[in-house]
């Protein structure tokens, strides 16, 4: 990142000395490194199938995600400062590209060539010439269609994902496009007006829009909105750095509010304001012992993009039997070494190159937004544009049909069919040859607000594909009434279109399970062969096609509506969703000891698909 002395520029004499940042006297780099280490610690638990400590205490997120939010808070602050110092679009794009791309390209190629070659189950020649290997490298270089699986690599681990961290980069880069507009709104005399606009945009109910937005390359709008709120708050803190009080009584009050919100859904809204404030306070805290320590190198980016494949490789070498803390302790020095190499031989030279390129293009015309003679005109245009945007968003919210399933594309051969702008890449089948006859259709529904790119879901779908199923997987969010009659009708439509003459098997997670059971209850006899629900939420409503009630977590579940073999996999430590206590003759409950209502889930894929293959004849 740019030198903060340059970013802050020369502030006016009316600003307080405490609000200035001395050259190299800030802690932004240290905080980024610590955040990257927290992500490594978080993944150390998840990659061995466990939930990180404290994650179940935070109702709206988890510890690793808070670390990722920290990156976005810092980016919003520093990038608006960078624009303030050099408000030239061409130079801004060049700086961002040279900061992100070289390190990413080397990390992606390195994971494919180094870790992949050593870990693959395939012959090296077959692995290197596989189209999937090339796709992994080139698609991940573009950032906007992340690929997670390499042929035969980590195929037998809880996650068969090579790098589960880089998916956030496309959101980061998308938010970079806001910086010039934030410069117009927040760095001029009308910053109060601009602040109201930014806050207004941040609090809009983006979650009610369709999950995947085509003109945003299929990015999930809910995730983009969440990351964007932290990014925007970081930008606001930079814009008002001369007025925001950074005093310890305020810090203690904000920290208390942040902590109290952990156990509640509304804690997310507290976090949008509290976390950026706390991050910027710590970053601007002048600690003599740390002053200048992180001036010469920034290993945070290298730690972030290299850690996941390093941890996966350690899990692979250990045969999956390694304690999370041991995994973290081994991964940190290895990843740190790779990050240091990346910094000294890739990232730092690229950042030095941007200075040379900037000097070469200094005499070329640059784009400068909102020149002073046209300030009033720009204000009018901003208001008009935002009004139009608000009207469009409101219209989209009103006409959207949340919870309704779309029409996926049919497939003639066993494969995963995803109704999403961003496809899930199928992994190499676990069997040598696909079966001659495809098995019945498997309809899969994920839980409320789950994302299809979470590593556990592609792994589950890959297993189904390898087992010979044609999977219909619709990428949908869902409201609190997910599982209602409209959703049931949509699943019936899928069955009618893709499997009119064959029984369908059902697989759902969390709230997706409720929709499937509604479908079992409402469908014609004989249309469903069997079903499995994982981490059930209101498995069996009081009537077919019923709407989820406010007492859904502990609702009575009359199982008489289910007339097919049905398994419910529940976590014994799931304090978020109740599991059924009343079972019908066709319902089997399978306990997952210690499991909470969170991904990854310690289910037994082989047992689940054995149940589906035999329609319950083999038992759980």
Beta 587-592 vs 442-445: how paired, if at all?
unpaired
Strand partners for 393: none
Position 320 scores a pLDDT of: 82
State how far the Cα of 231 lies from the Cα of 479, in Å rounded to an integer.
26
pLDDT tens digits for 316-352?
999 888 999 999 999 999 999 999 999 999 999 998 8
DSSP secondary structure string, 571-601? ETT--SS---S---TTEEEEEETT--SSSS-
For residue 585, CA distances in Å to 559, 588, 611 come to: 8, 8, 16
Does residue 282 surpass a pLDDT of 80? Answer: yes
State how far the Cα of 452 lies from the Cα of 354, in Å rounded to an integer.
37
Strand partners for 509: 534
pLDDT tens digits for 147-195?
888 999 998 887 788 998 999 999 999 999 999 999 999 998 889 999 9
**Quick one: CA dihedral 580, 581, 582, 587, positive or negative?**
positive
Max intra-chain CA distance, the chain: 80
Position 462 scores a pLDDT of: 73
Q: In terms of DSSP H, where are the helices of 400-427?
A: none
State how far the Cα of 311 lies from the Cα of 322, in Å rounded to an integer.
11
Quick check: helix, strand or coil at residue 530?
strand
State how far the Cα of 620 lies from the Cα of 350, in Å rounded to an integer.
55
Residue 169: enclosing H or E segment and its boundaries? helix 169-176
As a whole number, mean pLDDT of residues 585-604 equals 70
As a whole-number percent, the residues of the chain with pLDDT over 70 amount to: 59
Q: Taking the domains of the chain in order of start, what are their residue ranges? A: 4-369, 416-614
Structure tokens at 146: 């992340």
Q: What are the CB-based long-range contacts (under 8 Å, 24+) for 556-562?
A: 556/582, 557/581, 557/582, 558/582, 558/584, 559/583, 559/584, 559/586, 559/587, 560/584, 561/517, 561/520, 561/521, 562/517, 562/520, 562/521, 562/586, 562/587
State how far the Cα of 91 lies from the Cα of 363, in Å rounded to an integer.
12
Position 585 scores a pLDDT of: 55
Position 422 scores a pLDDT of: 32
Does residue 579 surpass a pLDDT of 60? Answer: no
For residue 138, CA distances in Å to 52, 303, 475 come to: 32, 21, 24
Position 355 scores a pLDDT of: 63
Pick the more confident residue, 222 or 178.
178
Structure tokens at 209: 């829009």
State how far the Cα of 385 lies from the Cα of 339, in Å rounded to an integer.
43
Strand partners for 417: 472
Place of tokens 């001369």: 242
Pick the more confident residue, 518 or 291.
291
Pick the more confident residue, 153 or 485.
153
CATH 3.40.50.1820 corresponds to the domain 416-614: yes
Does residue 416 surpass a pLDDT of 50? Answer: no
Residue 284: enclosing H or E segment and its boundaries? helix 267-284
Give residue 109's pLDDT band: very low, low, confident or very high (50, 70, 90). Answer: very high
Cβ atoms of 57 and 262 within 8 Å: the answer is yes
* Chain mean pLDDT for the chain: 72
Position 146 scores a pLDDT of: 87
Position 551 scores a pLDDT of: 36
As a whole number, mean pLDDT of residues 387-396 equals 40
State how far the Cα of 154 lies from the Cα of 162, in Å rounded to an integer.
7
Pick the more confident residue, 49 or 422.
49
State how far the Cα of 133 lies from the Cα of 150, in Å rounded to an integer.
6
Q: Which among 242, 240, 204, 241 has a CA at the least distance from the CA of 224?
A: 204
pLDDT tens digits for 86-108?
899 999 999 999 999 999 999 99
Most confident of 80-84, 399-403, 500-504: 80-84
Strand partners for 507: 444, 532
Place of tokens 């038992």: 619
DSSP secondary structure string, 27-63? -HHHHHHHHHHHHHHHHHHHTTT-PPTTGGG-TT--H
pLDDT tens digits for 29-40?
999 999 999 999
As a whole number, mean pLDDT of residues 522-538 equals 64
Angle between helices 169-176 and 89-110 (to 10 degrees): 170
Position 232 scores a pLDDT of: 97
Does residue 308 surpass a pLDDT of 90? Answer: yes
pTM of the model: 0.60
Q: Number of helices and strands (H, E) in the chain? A: 21, 7
Residue 555 dihedral angles phi and psi, to the nearest 5°: -70, 150
Does residue 136 surpass a pLDDT of 90? Answer: yes
Position 21 scores a pLDDT of: 42
Query: Lowest-confidence range among 247-251, 306-310, 554-558, 616-620?
Result: 554-558
As a whole-number percent, the residues of the chain with pLDDT over 90 amount to: 35
Cβ atoms of 426 and 150 within 8 Å: the answer is no
Break the chain down into helix, strand, coil percent, rounded to 5.
55, 5, 40
Q: Which among 396, 421, 39 has a CA at the least distance from the CA of 220?
A: 421
Position 447 scores a pLDDT of: 67
Residue 506, burial from CB neighbour count under 10 angstroms (0-12, 13-18, 19+): buried
């Amino acid at each position: 990142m740019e030198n903060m002395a340059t970013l802050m520029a020369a502030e006016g004499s009316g600003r307080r000395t405490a609000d200035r940042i001395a050259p190299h006297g800030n802690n932004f780099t240290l905080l980024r490194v610590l955040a990257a280490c927290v992500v490594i610690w978080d993944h150390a638990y998840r990659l061995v199938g466990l939930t990180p400590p404290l994650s179940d205490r935070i109702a709206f997120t988890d510890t690793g995600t808070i670390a990722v939010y920290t990156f976005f808070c810092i980016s919003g602050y520093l990038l608006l400062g960078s624009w303030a110092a050099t408000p030239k679009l061409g130079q801004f794009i060049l700086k961002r590209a040279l900061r992100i791309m070289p390190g990413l390209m080397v990390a992606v190629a390195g994971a494919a060539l180094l870790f992949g070659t050593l870990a693959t189950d395939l012959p090296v020649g077959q692995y290197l010439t596989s189209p999937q290997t090339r796709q992994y490298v080139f698609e991940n270089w573009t950032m906007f269609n992340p690929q997670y699986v390499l042929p035969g690599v980590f195929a037998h681990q809880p996650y068969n994902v090579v790098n589960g961290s880089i998916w956030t980069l496309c959101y980061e880069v998308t938010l970079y496009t806001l910086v010039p507009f934030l410069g117009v709104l927040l760095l001029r005399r009308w910053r109060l007006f601009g602040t109201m606009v930014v806050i207004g945009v941040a609090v809009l109910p983006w979650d009610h829009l369709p999950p995947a937005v085509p003109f945003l390359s299929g990015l999930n709008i809910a995730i983009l909105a969440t990351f964007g709120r932290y990014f925007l708050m970081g930008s606001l803190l930079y814009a008002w750095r001369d007025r925001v009080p950074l005093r310890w009584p305020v810090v203690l009050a904000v920290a208390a509010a942040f902590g109290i919100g952990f156990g509640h859904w509304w804690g997310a809204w507290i976090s949008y304001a509290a976390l950026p404030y706390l991050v910027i306070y710590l970053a601007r805290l002048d600690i003599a012992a740390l002053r200048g320590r992180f001036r010469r190198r920034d290993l945070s980016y290298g730690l972030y993009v290299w850690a996941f494949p390093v941890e996966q490789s350690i899990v692979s070498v250990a045969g999956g039997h390694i304690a999370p803390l041991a995994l973290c302790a081994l991964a940190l020095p290895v990843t740190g070494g790779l990050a240091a190499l990346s910094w000294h031989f890739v990232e730092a030279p690229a950042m030095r190159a941007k200075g040379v390129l900037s000097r070469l293009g200094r005499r070329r015309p640059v784009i400068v937004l909102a020149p002073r003679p046209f300030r009033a005109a720009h204000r009018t245009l901003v208001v008009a544009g935002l009004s139009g945007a608000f009207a469009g968003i409101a219209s989209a919210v009103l006409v959207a049909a949340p919870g309704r399933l779309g029409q996926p594309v049919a497939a003639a051969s066993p494969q995963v069919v995803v109704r999403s702008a961003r496809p899930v890449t199928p992994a190499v089948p676990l069997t040598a040859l696909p079966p001659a006859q495809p098995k019945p259709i498997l309809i899969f529904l994920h839980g409320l607000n789950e994302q299809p790119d979470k590593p556990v879901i592609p792994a589950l779908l890959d297993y189904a594909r390898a087992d010979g199923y044609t999977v219909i997987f619709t990428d949908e969010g869902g409201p609190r009434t997910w599982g209602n009659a409209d959703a049931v009708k949509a699943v019936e439509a899928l069955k009618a279109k893709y499997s009119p003459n064959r029984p369908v098997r059902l697989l759902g997670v969390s709230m997706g399970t409720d929709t499937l059971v509604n479908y079992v209850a409402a469908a014609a006899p004989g249309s469903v062969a069997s079903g499995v629900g994982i981490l059930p939420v209101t498995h069996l409503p009081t009537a077919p096609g019923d709407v989820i009630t406010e007492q859904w977590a502990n609702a009575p579940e009359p199982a008489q509506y289910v007339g097919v073999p049905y398994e419910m996999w529940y976590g014994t430590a799931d304090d978020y969703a109740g599991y059924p206590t009343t079972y019908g003759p066709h319902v089997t409950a399978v306990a997952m000891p210690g499991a909470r209502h969170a991904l990854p889930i310690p289910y037994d894929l082989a047992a689940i698909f054995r149940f589906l293959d035999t329609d319950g004849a083999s038992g759980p």
